[in-house]
Structure 1
């Protein structure tokens, strides 16, 4: 335990380097230690009871809720450290719900969250994670502000708008779609000097044309989940320019046949195009190198030209860009069950596409660890800044655990 305590003190000293006051260093270190200690509940009061001489409930509550420290400074140091430790192959975007009983906390509203699998009363946090096959770490966060909290929207709720001041929500902060929050965080993370090699996301972001175009404008490749509704033309399709009659605006080139759903294109390719792929070892016993069963399924990858009104408006008269559609088609299923879209080069191997598409499990693993063991969803404060402080400190606790795994179990990490 002595070595763990020393390692934690060195780690927090590095993360809190920008703090100018000794009390911020002390209570920041104590808060992270409280998140790491055994205990079912990781809100301030039960943590204080377990912290011994550092168990000052009032000081801990002040540090996380009211102390004027900028979480972005801490997140930048965290990103630098984890980039060096993980050497990420991708940055993953996702969001998670923080279930709430009352409505007094910042940005709480009835909204859908995958955490509950339904519309419920909650906050939603958007996060970006540095990831590789063997490790991952959340390095940036945003609290999603629903339209009901934005006085500039028709959906504004007067009671929620009236609570903005008490919750410390900045007066100039309005509703921003989650995909735009993700792009803003990617921009900020890159401004810290962190290299973003590739962006992964689920269909909640992949179905947004604006999100994909935003990544393209930033020169970032992506592998994103999509639903069955996005449409595309086969890669072999070419636009045709109708003859000009000499009157009015010249016609622009258009594809002669209507775009079809990605599901229809995959089904048309048929089972003969499906290939088996194994992408990593899972958690069940098997015959893998580490004694674990390898994850395996069947996939088909097609070159297509994504369509849709937003894409047509952005590329009118120009040939649509080629992309990959990846579809998972298990042997026992009559049709594909999951789809991804990627702008990686045409010579990208199928195994690479599958491995990257399936790397999203890392973010789900991060959320599970942070909620079950590190108190991510246990913050009982109601302020906007307090929420951002707490998720940042929970990210530090998670990163500390990850660094210890990489340091003291290098063989396991290498084999993964």
Structure 2
């Protein structure tokens, strides 16, 4: 049951002990979410199935692993049962913080696609997903991952509903979407996740995201909250500097083309599967602003800027709007941007090993329940990995007593 990818250090014996205790722990934590002990037991077996060796985490596969004659109990857990998936989401977040919490952590927002057939699955439609690299029939889930020096885990999620869904009351009712649910853009879903993390006092210093989430309300909300950010923007996004900064004005791509070659620095955005992820980077400070301009209870000088990444191999450019305490260096901003790799790694692991995209339910609550249980399994593995790899305390030197005190 323990995959090699989940063990980057520590002895097998230690990891087995951590595995057993962690699994007992999370099953105990989720039990109060269910009104009946048998449903709690089914949830525990569901987790066992997600963490098992089967490549496909279908209802039949999970049922077989649980010793059930069919997938009905597994399906009932996701569909007919009465329990709150958002309560589980919050529990996963709090559980992850016990191991991963760090005030300099980065909250990474991104989306992933769930390929589907037919038209009945909640939120399904022909839409672009980076998972397939094209427009295809799929669901889109927006996620928030917490990334720190201790590891990373998903702490929030939301199913995106296109207007073709929110504008069709019968379709929404058939998928059991809550009546109060209205259309929300992906940035609006992400903003709600950031708000929930702040309200829950989740410690983080930064937010990173790609250009889908890079401008507008998210920027303003983070400035008011005193959080730094590195948010992707399009090549035609306009930037301009203020008094006291080197003169810069124009579209991001134009600014990049006019930069002095000496301003580019080769820096690593962090270690990847093939070593350090090196690119050429440039950073333009645009304005120094007082934090009190966004929140009277805060003070201190913050800097708005433009961060530019150039691919070493082909020269392709990417652009990021930044907000950080004055004096923050380019290497720090590059590292923050590099944390986005963790959510991509998380999607790959959760899909390939934990069945994130193997959900067979069609309802709103079925999607959120399945995804939340996968998030719990992922957070548990992050906790095990961190504890297994923790440096053991140094051994104390043996004290040798003088001969006259030895017995």
Normalising by structure 1, report the TM-score: 0.81
Query: How far apart, CA to CA, are the structure 2 residues paired with 1:341 and 1:149?
Result: 32
Residue among 272, 282, 286 paired with 1:300: 282
Deviation at 1:237, TM superposition (A): 7.6
What residue in structure 1 maps to residue 309 of structure 2?
328
Moved more, 294-303 or 27-36: 294-303
Check conservation: 1:133, 1:359, Cα contact below 8 A: no
> Do residues 149 (structure 1) and 165 (structure 2) align?
yes
Residue among 232, 235, 245 paired with 1:228: 235
Deviation at 1:268, TM superposition (A): 1.6
1:312-391 map, 5 Å: 322-331=303-312, 333=314, 337-391=317-371
Any unmatched runs of 5+ in structure 1?
152-159, 239-256, 285-292, 307-320
Any unmatched runs of 5+ in structure 2?
2-15, 289-301, 393-407
Deviation at 1:350, TM superposition (A): 1.3
Deviation at 1:56, TM superposition (A): 5.4
What residue in structure 2 maps to residue 175 of structure 1?
183
Change (3 A) 1:164 1:339: same
Deviation at 1:162, TM superposition (A): 2.4
Query: How far apart, CA to CA, are the structure 1 residues paired with 2:357 and 2:132?
Result: 13
Change (3 A) 1:27 1:324: same
Change (3 A) 1:184 1:331: closer
**What number of residue pairs does the alignment pair up?**
361
Change (3 A) 1:297 1:14: same
What residue in structure 1 maps to residue 226 of structure 2?
219
Query: How far apart, CA to CA, are the structure 2 residues paired with 1:124 and 1:186?
Result: 18
Query: How far apart, CA to CA, are the structure 1 residues paired with 2:285 and 2:154?
Result: 32
| 2:362 match: secondary structure | coil
Deviation at 1:346, TM superposition (A): 2.9
* Residues 205-251 of structure 1 deviation map (CA, whole Å, 9 limit, x = unaligned): 11x3232223223333211112211101124489xxxxxxxxxxxxx
Moved more, 119-128 or 190-199: 190-199
Query: How far apart, CA to CA, are the structure 2 residues paired with 1:163 and 1:45?
Result: 28
Normalising by structure 2, report the TM-score: 0.82
Check conservation: 2:129, 2:135, Cα contact below 8 A: yes
What residue in structure 2 maps to residue 264 of structure 1?
254
CA RMSD of aligned residues (A): 2.4
| 2:273 match: secondary structure | strand
